[in-house]
Amino acid sequence: MENKLSFEWLRSETKRLGLALDDQDLLAIADTLKKTRKALAENHFSELGTEEPPYRFTPDTET
């Protein structure tokens, strides 16, 4: 799945989890996720100056 949230995927997941949510609930969830992703991306860019994820590698064993 790409960055876009599929409404059908969201509907199937709530059904799989046994949640009784209507389309208004799903739209509210999708809207909240969209806003959260946008805020996280903006914060990430302002902190790092890039949209690329930070890469930090740790050694498997201590030397």
Asked if residue 63 is part of any domain, the answer here is: no
Residue 17 in any domain: the answer is: no
Higher pLDDT, 5 or 20: 20
Q: How confident is the model at residue 2 (pLDDT cuts 50, 70, 90)?
A: very low
Torsion of CA 43, 44, 48, 51, to 10 degrees: -130
Q: Is residue 10 part of a domain?
A: no
Is 6 part of any domain?
no
Alpha carbon distance 31, 9 (integer Å): 14
Taking the C-alpha atoms of residue 58 and residue 5, their distance in angstroms, rounded to an integer, is: 32
Number of domains in the chain: 1
Residue 27's domain comprises: 22-49
Tell whether 38 is covered by a domain: yes
pLDDT tens, 27-54? 999 899 889 888 887 776 666 666 666 6
Q: Is residue 28 part of a domain?
A: yes
